[in-house]
């Protein structure tokens, strides 16, 4: 077992070098031989099986049986055409599935986990799926462990192993741990191992890969869970259920049509085929596919605008978001800190003035973990700013490191809001403490003033606090520096009886476009809440700049939150727009408070401690520059770390939902129109022949269903979409009159088709059939243009904006003209050539659907009567 082996034994077993790693050549060979570092997925269905599944429907099978019977009744052409149309429909279904799967595979590729390895002696980042046995992997806080590793080096490494052991308590890891060869330990006790899928909470490490994919410990568990179910989004589930209900209703109506036809002594076999064909055409089996493709293509669009949606449901939920809780640094601001002022000897000075006090600039340089290399200063933006400021004020980097070597450190954490470093200086050790005013000043008993140490009095404290408030009011982030000397490395002495030295004030300018994005969010009915670790005054000053908040009454601090119950916090959140001095735990409470008030919450985060709040939110949004844990926990990743991208993603999410709504209403209106045509004809004209044949119904389903619906799903963004308030999470696609809209349009399509039948009857039965056939199909194509906008005239939104829909319309109409005029189609579909009068009636009746809907929009130009939101509110 790897945990019982020495490093040398492990090197021999895995044929690797624990210092240099594998060569690229050897890694490629092992990847080819053993496969990738991935858990087995459900095997994809073959193309043949996908095609076969399209016929796995009782109604289709009955129709095929009818086609077979037609052969025996010498209606060979009918039989061939029925089978051909069903086959073409099946191929369209397979194409839709393939398109959706292709988009989803692209999504998986975009969000693939990465790993840092050493190969050929060089550090590089690769896809975690390409890790092989013997790879040398490097870990740091915020990483997921990408494979089972035998640790060879650890520095304060803490790992959370709940995915394997169920225990959420962090486990301390130690590469130097050794175990007897005959000792068997449970996973939780193997201190020199890190296992795939666990999370690095703190520290860093290096380790050799000892197991990948299904051979890893998580892989062994996965073998027991081979029944992988395809997860559907909430909207997909609702529409799948709706399809079943509507399908059942369609079957009942079609059965009723057949029964009535039998009573009327019509041709039994012909009406059986017609009824079944109508049922097949009317069942909206394409709805789930349209939704999946729309969501997946929306994901692709988002990725082009720096937002990677990791989960399809996030695309749906984005359109419902009513509150965005956002970090400040790096999201609203540029994350490029610059020291612009400092406080020393009782005065606030501009950073352009040189710092006379050596301890202030040297202390800020030493008390931090930024690094100076050939490319400049790198590290945390705050520490980078302080180090650059110190260097600009004459600090000699090489000399100060030699003169004051670091011998101990108490790292910064969000709870303490400070950090301390200890440096050797002769026989003594000097401690520097850097942090927030309220965290450091209470620890101070003295003040460094004009080169000497004096007792810190109450008036002096008040003066420091007033100066800090003044700097914070100018949107500066204020950090305090204090010091003391100690004789030993007893940590309990490091942060007591400190001597206050001074403060530095830094500014982090807002990102370009953020203020406008926040204004757009407010216009769209979305509240923006800034969550920051800054002082309340600093946070408010930035909030004012960005239009988030205007007064301290809109600011809540972490300390104030602790005094509020969950219900009180939910009440407070109705007017709070800034949370200052916030901790990761506060973020979780904020999300819960908003959700208690039935808000749909988006939360941003970038650190390992942000994972709980990202999970708790309806949409967790991670920064592309954040930790691996935050990215893998999130629903959406911002590759440019920009708040404006969130608003763009919300806009895209709303548009995707709106387009799905258009496609659904189109499909159901058209299906209802087909049922209405045949049902009314049978009921109202008992002696007249049926207005449509089985083949004509199937042809209409082929030409007017799938492609116009998919074209509507690709409709360009509605320019008015962000003038609306967020829709409710429980809102139906048919809310506030949607059903009425669908039913009225469906009934109208059916009615004008029968009007065409009456006109055609003046010529002959075949002409009547043909005109009904033409109006029913061409009216549906015109109806697809109606649904380009649910509120505005199609002439206002631009006739040529959706080129795909326009092409579908033109091709569809051309096909209908062709089937009337070409002899081969006249034979197959039993159509007759129409004269100009008939064509005029066909196009006049079909286009009247545009006129009816345009009049409706004219009377309600801004707020269409079946939409649930109000742009005027």
Residue positions annotated with a catalytic role: 327
In sequence order, the 6+-apart residues with CB closer than 8 A to the CB of 2 are 10, 148, 150, 193, 210, 211
- Distance (Å) of CA 493 to CA 197, 410, 434: 39, 12, 15
* Integer Cα distance of 796 and 718 in angstroms: 11
Task: Of 82, 86, 61, 84, give the one whose Cα is nearest residue 73.
Answer: 82
φ, ψ of residue 148 to 5 degrees: the values are -70, 125
Measured between alpha carbons, how far is 539 from 542 in angstroms, rounded to an integer?
A: 5
Return contacts of 231-237, CB within 8 angstroms, 24+ apart.
232/288, 233/291, 233/295, 233/312, 233/313, 233/315, 233/316, 234/313, 234/316, 235/291, 235/316, 235/657, 235/660, 236/288, 236/291, 236/292
The span from the CA of 507 to the CA of 747, in Å, is: 64
To which H or E segment does residue 528 belong?
A: strand 527-531
Give the largest CA-CA distance in the chain: 115
Query: Reduced to 3 DSSP states, what percent helix, strand and coil does the chain have, rounded to the nearest 5?
Result: 50, 20, 30
How far apart CA 790 and CA 775 sit, in angstroms, is 23
Look at residue 305 and give its three-state secondary structure: coil
**Dihedrals φ, ψ of 718, to 5°?**
-70, 120
Which residues touch 815 (CB under 8 Å, ≥6 apart)? 703
DSSP string, 792-815: S-HHHH-TTS-HHHHHHHHHHHHH
By DSSP bridging, strand 136-140 and strand 199-211 are antiparallel
CA distance 500 to 449: 9
Tokens 């027991």 belong to which residue?
A: 224
Supply 387's token pair: 């180090």
């Amino acid at each position: 077992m790897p945990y019982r082996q020495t490093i040398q034994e492990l090197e021999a077993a895995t044929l690797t070098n624990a210092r240099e790693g594998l060569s690229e050549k050897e890694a490629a060979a092992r990847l080819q031989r053993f496969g990738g570092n991935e858990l087995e997925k459900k095997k994809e269905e073959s193309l043949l099986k996908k095609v076969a599944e399209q016929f796995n429907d009782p109604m289709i099978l009955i129709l095929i049986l009818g086609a077979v019977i037609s052969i025996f009744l010498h209606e060979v052409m009918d039989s061939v055409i029925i089978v051909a149309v069903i086959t073409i429909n099946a191929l369209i279904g397979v194409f839709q599935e393939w398109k959706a799967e292709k988009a989803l595979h692209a999504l998986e590729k975009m969000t693939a986990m990465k790993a840092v390895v050493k190969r050929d002696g060089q550090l590089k980042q690769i896809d975690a799926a390409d890790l092989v046995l013997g790879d040398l992997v490097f870990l740091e806080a915020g990483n997921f462990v990408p494979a089972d590793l035998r640790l060879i080096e650890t520095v304060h490494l803490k790992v959370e192993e709940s995915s394997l052991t169920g225990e959420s308590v962090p486990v301390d890891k130690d590469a130097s741990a050794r175990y007897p060869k005959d000792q068997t330990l449970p996973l939780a006790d193997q201190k020199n191992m890190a296992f795939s899928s666990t999370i690095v909470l703190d520290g860093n490490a290096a380790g050799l890969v000892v197991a990948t994919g299904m051979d890893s410990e998580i892989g062994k568990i996965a073998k027991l869970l081979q029944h992988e179910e395809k997860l559907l989004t909430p909207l997909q589930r609702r529409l799948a259920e709706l399809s079943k209900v509507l399908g059942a209703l369609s079957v009942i109506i079609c059965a009723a049509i057949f029964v009535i036809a039998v009573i009327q002594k019509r041709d039994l076999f012909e009406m059986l085929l017609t009824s079944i064909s109508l049922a097949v055409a009317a069942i909206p089996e394409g709805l789930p596919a349209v939704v999946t493709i729309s969501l997946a293509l929306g994901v692709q669009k988002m990725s082009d605008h720096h937002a990677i949606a990791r989960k399809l449901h996030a695309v749906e939920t984005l359109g419902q978001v009513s509150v965005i809780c956002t970090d400040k640094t790096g999201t609203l601001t540029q994350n490029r800190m610059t020291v612009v002022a400092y406080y020393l000897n009782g005065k606030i000075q501009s950073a352009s003035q040189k710092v006379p006090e050596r301890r202030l600039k040297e202390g800020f340089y030493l008390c931090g973990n930024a690094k100076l290399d050939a490319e400049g200063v790198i590290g945390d933006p705050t520490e980078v700013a302080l180090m650059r400021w110190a260097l600009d004020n004459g600090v000699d980097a090489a000399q100060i490191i030699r003169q004051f070597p670091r011998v101990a450190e108490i790292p910064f954490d969000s709870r303490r809001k400070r950090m301390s470093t200890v440096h050797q200086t002769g026989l003594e050790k000097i401690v520097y403490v850097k942090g927030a005013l309220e965290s450091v000043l209470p620890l101070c008993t003295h003040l460094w003033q004009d080169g000497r140490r004096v007792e810190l009095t109450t008036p002096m404290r008040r003066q420091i606090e007033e100066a800090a408030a003044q700097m914070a009011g100018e949107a500066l982030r204020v950090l305090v520096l204090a010091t003391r000397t100690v004789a030993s490395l007893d940590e309990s002495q490091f942060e007591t009886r400190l001597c206050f030295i001074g403060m530095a004030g830094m500014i982090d300018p807002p990102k370009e476009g953020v203020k406008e994005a926040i204004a757009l969010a407010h216009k769209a009915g979305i509240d923006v809440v800034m969550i920051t670790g800054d002082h309340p005054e600093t946070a408010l000053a930035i909030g004012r700049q960005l239009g988030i908040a205007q007064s301290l009454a809109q600011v809540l601090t972490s300390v104030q939150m602790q005094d509020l119950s969950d219900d009180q916090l939910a009440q407070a959140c109705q007017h709070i727009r800034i949370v200052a001095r916030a901790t990761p735990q506060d973020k979780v409470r904020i999300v819960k408070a908003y959700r208690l008030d039935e808000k749909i919450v988006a939360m941003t985060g970038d650190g390992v401690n942000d994972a709980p709040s990202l999970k708790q939110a309806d949409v967790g949004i991670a920064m592309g520059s954040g930790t691996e844990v935050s990215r893998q926990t999130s629903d959406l990743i911002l590759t440019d770390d920009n708040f404006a991208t969130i608003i763009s993603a919300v806009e895209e999410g709303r548009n995707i939902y709106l387009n799905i709504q258009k496609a659904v209403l189109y499909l159901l209106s058209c299906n209802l129109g087909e049922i209405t045509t045949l049902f009314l004809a049978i009921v109202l004209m008992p002696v007249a022949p049926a207005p449509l044949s089985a083949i004509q119904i199937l042809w209409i389903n082929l030409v007017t269903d799938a492609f116009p619906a998919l074209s509507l799903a690709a409709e360009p963004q509605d320019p008015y979409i962000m003038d609306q308030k967020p829709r409710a999470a429980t809102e139906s696609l048919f809310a506030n009159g949607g059903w009425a809209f669908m039913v009225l349009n469906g009934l109208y399509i059916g009615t004008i088709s029968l009007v065409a039948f009456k006109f055609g009857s003046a010529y002959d039965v075949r002409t009547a059939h043909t005109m009904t056939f033409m109006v029913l199909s061409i009216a549906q194509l015109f109806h697809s243009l109606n649904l380009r906008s649910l509120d505005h005239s199609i002439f206002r939104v631009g006739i040529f904006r959706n080129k795909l829909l326009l092409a579908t319309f033109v091709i569809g109409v051309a096909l209908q003209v062709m089937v009337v005029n070409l002899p081969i189609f006249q034979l197959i579909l039993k159509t007759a050539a129409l004269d100009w009068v008939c064509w005029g009636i066909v196009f006049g009746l079909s286009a009247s659907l545009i006129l009816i809907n345009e009049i409706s929009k004219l009377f309600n130009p801004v707020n269409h009567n079946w939409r649930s939101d109000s742009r005027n509110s």
